[in-house]
């Protein structure tokens, strides 16, 4: 196996979604070295030492897709497109979480795979056909036995969380009809490099996909991209429309356009990643400087949206509870806990920002527009936001 060429070291990091209870605050947290590299052959960019999915995706998983209106709308719009253009009779979603996508379809049409039992329970209770399993070839065979094959497989922000891509695709090949469609949606590596969003790397995000990297692994598994949409979601994502090679669908010119965009930017060259790593180091210094300055002025900073991404930023830049008084978040399973590594209290979002808050650090920067709309009063009274992308600044 060809080894990754390492280009980025994000220090030691706790598990990104492992929010701490008060009683655990004095216990030593397990931390993992987070280094990122590129495979010189496949051009896939990944973290160097992935840890087992079983450690991260368990029956206490706090993430809920439905916490953002932007995500709900995006899933709804895609569902409309799927019904209109492809009209599949059976759909499988990998990483169905709390059902934000499958809820747009009738219950006899969709199957969801979600390994975290506490989350899968939500869709099962609603009457959806969901399985608390990890996606692999064994699961595919089990699902076929009970439900037969499917015409469409969708997976958003999930395939990038699974180390063994060959097995993921083998399992998809097993369950998908020969004329079926696979839609994969994940943050774009090109956008990540352009916007310096190094926080897309954390232990759950084993890969940040480029089109050129994904194409290599798809090709090896007899699959090919026939269209691509560039989305604004999560700071810039790609939605890849994929078919089996044996099926003859027309390949859209969008594929070549996107491939050329990535090559022109230099995603096929190691030097591009080395300069990105240098920008990340500068970003760390700049962000820390902003926090130190505000701290000296005795102004109050809170965080908004506790994200897995913000775990990377806060631990890498060493911004802890001395700098941020508390976070607010709408996710019940994150509330009344503390951020991993940096031990910042997480409060329930009360519906508005407290009067004594001067600055908000945007953990959920990817939902900036949605949050700005919601926090008009804070902005009106002169409140400011701290954001790290594309460069750390106060806005």
> For residues 66 and 254, which CB has a smaller minimum distance to ligand SAH in the complex?
66
Residue nearest to ligand TYD (CB): 305
Say whether residue 29 binds ligand TYD (CB under 6 A): no
Site map (CB under 6 A) of ligand TYD, residues 303-332, x = contact: --xxxxx-------------------xxx-
Angle at alpha carbon of residue 209, lines to 203 and 211, rounded to 5°: 175
The total of other beta-carbon atoms located within 10 Å of residue 261's CB is 14
Smallest separation (angstroms) from ligand SAH to the CB of 29: 21
Q: How far apart are CA 46 and CA 23, in angstroms?
A: 34
Supply the DSSP symbol for 242. Answer: E
Site map (CB under 6 A) of ligand TYD, residues 36-65, x = contact: ---------------------------x--
> For residues 161 and 243, which CB has a smaller minimum distance to ligand TYD in the complex?
161
- Give the closest residue to 187 by CA, choosing from 172, 204, 174: 204
Residue 349 class from Cβ within 10 Å (0-12 exposed, 13-18 middle, 19+ buried)?
middle
Task: Give the pair of three-digit tokens for residue 104.
Answer: 């747009």
- Give the closest residue to 363 by CA, choosing from 351, 376, 347, 377: 347
Residues 6 or more apart whose Cβ sits within 8 Å of residue 181:
86, 88, 151, 152, 153, 241, 242, 243
Smallest separation (angstroms) from ligand TYD to the CB of 102: 18
Contacting residues toward ligand SAH, per CB under 6 A: 53, 57, 61, 63, 65, 71, 94-95, 97, 113-116, 119, 134-135, 156-158, 161-162
> For residues 56 and 364, which CB has a smaller minimum distance to ligand TYD in the complex?
364
> For residues 234 and 284, which CB has a smaller minimum distance to ligand SAH in the complex?
234
Helix, strand and coil in the chain, % to nearest 5: 40, 25, 35
> For residues 137 and 284, which CB has a smaller minimum distance to ligand SAH in the complex?
137
User: Binders of ligand TYD among 328-387, rule CB under 6 A?
Assistant: 329-331, 334, 349, 364, 366-367, 370-371, 374
Q: How far apart are CA 205 and CA 343, in angstroms?
A: 22
Smallest separation (angstroms) from ligand TYD to the CB of 197: 10
């Amino acid at each position: 196996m060809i080894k990754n060429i390492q280009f980025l070291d994000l220090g030691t990091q706790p598990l990104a979604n492992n929010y701490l209870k008060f009683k655990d605050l004095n216990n030593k947290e397990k931390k993992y070295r987070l280094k990122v590299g590129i495979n010189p052959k496949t051009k896939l960019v990944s973290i160097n030492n992935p840890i087992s999915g079983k450690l991260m995706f368990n029956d206490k998983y706090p993430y809920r897709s439905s916490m953002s209106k932007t995500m709900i709308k995006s899933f709804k719009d895609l569902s409309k497109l799927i019904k209109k253009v492809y009209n599949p009779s059976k759909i499988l979603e990998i990483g169905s979480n709390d059902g934000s996508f499958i809820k747009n379809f009738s219950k006899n049409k969709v199957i969801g795979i979600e390994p975290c039992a506490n989350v899968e329970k939500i869709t099962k209770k609603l009457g959806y056909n969901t399985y608390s399993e990890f996606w692999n070839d064994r699961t595919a065979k089990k699902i076929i036995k009970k439900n037969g094959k499917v015409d469409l497989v969708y997976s958003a922000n999930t395939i990038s969380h699974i180390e063994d891509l060959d097995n993921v695709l083998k399992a998809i090949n097993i369950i998908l009809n020969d004329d079926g469609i696979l839609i994969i949606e994940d943050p774009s590596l090109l956008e990540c490099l352009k916007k310096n969003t190094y926080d897309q790397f954390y232990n759950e995000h084993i890969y940040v996909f480029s089109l050129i990297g994904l194409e290599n692994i798809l090709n090896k598994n007899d699959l090919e991209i026939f269209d691509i949409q560039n989305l604004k979601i999560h700071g810039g994502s790609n939605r890849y429309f994929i078919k089996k090679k044996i099926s003859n669908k027309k390949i859209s010119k969008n594929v070549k356009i996107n491939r050329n965009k990535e090559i022109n930017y230099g995603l096929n060259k190691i030097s591009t990643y080395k300069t990105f790593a240098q920008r990340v180091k500068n970003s760390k210094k700049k962000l820390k400087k902003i926090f130190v300055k505000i701290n000296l002025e005795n102004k109050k900073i809170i965080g908004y949206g506790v994200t897995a991404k913000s775990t990377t930023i806060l631990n890498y830049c060493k911004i802890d509870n001395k700098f941020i008084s508390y976070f607010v978040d709408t996710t019940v399973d994150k509330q009344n806990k503390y951020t991993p590594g940096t031990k910042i209290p997480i409060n329930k979002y009360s519906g508005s920002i407290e009067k004594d808050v001067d600055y908000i650090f945007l953990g959920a920067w990817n939902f900036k527009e949605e949050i700005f709309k919601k926090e008009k009063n804070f902005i009106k009274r002169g409140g400011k936001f701290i954001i790290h992308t594309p460069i750390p600044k106060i806005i």
